[in-house]
Amino acid sequence: MKEVCIKRVIFTVFLCVSLLIFFSDYASAKPHKPPPHGKVWVEVGGKWKLVIAPPGVGPYIWVKGKWVIDPTPPPPGCEWGPPHWVPGYWKGKRWVPGYWVAGYWKPVPLPCPGAIWIIGHWEKGRWIPGYWKGKLPRGRHWVPGHWGPDRRWRHGNWR
């Protein structure tokens, strides 16, 4: 009788742990794998859906099954960061899983007094990224945000 009870407890614990591990991916409410090349994740009705990538780097929004130009004016002093996958990595002995980042606006650091940030904007259906104008630091130049050779997004920076 005691053996049957112990076996039942062990089986119940095993079942609970298995279910917890199986459903742990769904509990985080974010996709845990990178999208295939040419696709991106969008949130539709509280669920993540894999769709074709937007036609360019500019701020697009997913509306009723298609990409449209985001009509919201950009915040001053910010650069657009397109949606992208951040791969997982090891932090000491702990694995940090990769995650999906939706498109967002990122503040651009002021390089020096007198410099003016021209906000990215749409021109004839084409996204013109933001850029610096005016008195800029000597010997340095602004590299706009771009996709690196490893398909990772690189934010704009001074070089």
The DSSP bridge pattern shows strands 60-63 and 47-52 to be unpaired
pLDDT tens column, 132-151: 888 777 888 888 888 888 77
Report the domain count for the chain.
2
Q: What is the mean pLDDT of the chain?
A: 81
Q: Are residues 42 and 24 in the same domain?
A: no
Return the amino acid letter for 48: W
pLDDT tens column, 39-94: 888 888 888 889 998 888 788 889 989 999 888 888 888 888 888 888 888 999 99
Helix (H) or strand (E) holding 147: strand 146-147
Is 142 in a helix, a strand, or coil?
Answer: strand
Q: Are residues 51 and 6 in the same domain?
A: no
Using an 8 Å Cβ cutoff, are 37 and 151 in contact?
yes
Give the domain range for residue 20: 1-29
Using an 8 Å Cβ cutoff, are 140 and 159 in contact?
yes
Q: Are residues 139 and 96 in the same domain?
A: yes
pLDDT, mean of residues 86-108: 89
Q: Are residues 75 and 144 in the same domain?
A: yes
Q: Are residues 11 and 37 in the same domain?
A: no
What confidence tier does 20 reach under pLDDT thresholds 50, 70, 90? low
What confidence tier does 27 reach under pLDDT thresholds 50, 70, 90? very low
Q: Are residues 80 and 13 in the same domain?
A: no
What confidence tier does 100 reach under pLDDT thresholds 50, 70, 90? confident
Q: Are residues 100 and 22 in the same domain?
A: no
pTM over 0.75: no
